[in-house]
């Protein structure tokens, strides 16, 4: 588990999320209020939000080619980025997952692996009974633990 948790707040913008995901090279972020988990936001949530807020872009159900499709369907990627991502109008609370799956610090690595597989997650927040975020378990953490 990584105890260094990069997070966002409910009133942060879509631009803040995109910056943190890209800068930290991660796939999802916990959304916190007073250090307590209130949601999660992922790359997929960002892509779905771009799709929902752009009348010129309509992705199919496979989001793996979403950015490529954006460029192809949009006259200009910079226009799309400026209009949607940089507008500052779209807040995390508008597109976050309000009921994220979590795990307790007492759970073992197998419980974490099962939960991540079952819910198709790349990262799983570790929270205590008061919903305080203690850390994040990523798939890479599980692989490293199994390799030891």
Domain span at residue 66?
A: 14-147
CATH code for the domain of 73: 3.10.580.10
Distance in angstroms (rounded) separating the CA atoms of residues 125 and 137? 6
Q: What tens digit of pLDDT does each residue of 125-144 get?
A: 999 999 999 999 999 999 99
When divided into structural domains, the chain yields a total of 1
Helix or strand run (H / E) with residue 147: helix 139-147
Distance in angstroms (rounded) separating the CA atoms of residues 69 and 62? 11
Q: What tens digit of pLDDT does each residue of 6-26 get?
A: 999 999 998 899 899 999 999
For 119, residues 6+ apart whose C-beta sits below 8 A from its C-beta are 101
pTM for this model (two decimals)? 0.77
Distance in angstroms (rounded) separating the CA atoms of residues 93 and 12? 8
Assess if residue 9 is contained within a domain. no
Assess if residue 43 is contained within a domain. yes
């Amino acid at each position: 588990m990584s105890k260094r948790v990069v997070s966002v707040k409910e009133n942060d913008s879509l631009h803040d999320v995109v910056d943190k995901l890209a800068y930290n090279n991660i796939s999802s972020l916990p959304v916190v209020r007073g250090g307590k988990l209130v949601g999660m936001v992922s790359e997929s949530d960002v892509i779905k939000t771009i799709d929902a807020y752009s009348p010129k872009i309509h992705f199919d159900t496979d989001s793996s080619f979403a950015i490529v499709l954006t460029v192809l369907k949009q006259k200009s990627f910079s226009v799309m980025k400026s209009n949607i991502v940089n507008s500052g109008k779209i807040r995390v609370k508008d597109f976050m997952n309000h009921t994220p799956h979590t795990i307790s610090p007492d759970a073992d690595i197998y419980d974490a692996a099962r939960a991540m597989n079952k819910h198709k997650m790349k990262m799983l927040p570790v929270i205590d009974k008061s919903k305080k975020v203690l850390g994040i378990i990523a798939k890479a953490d599980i692989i490293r633990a199994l390799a030891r």
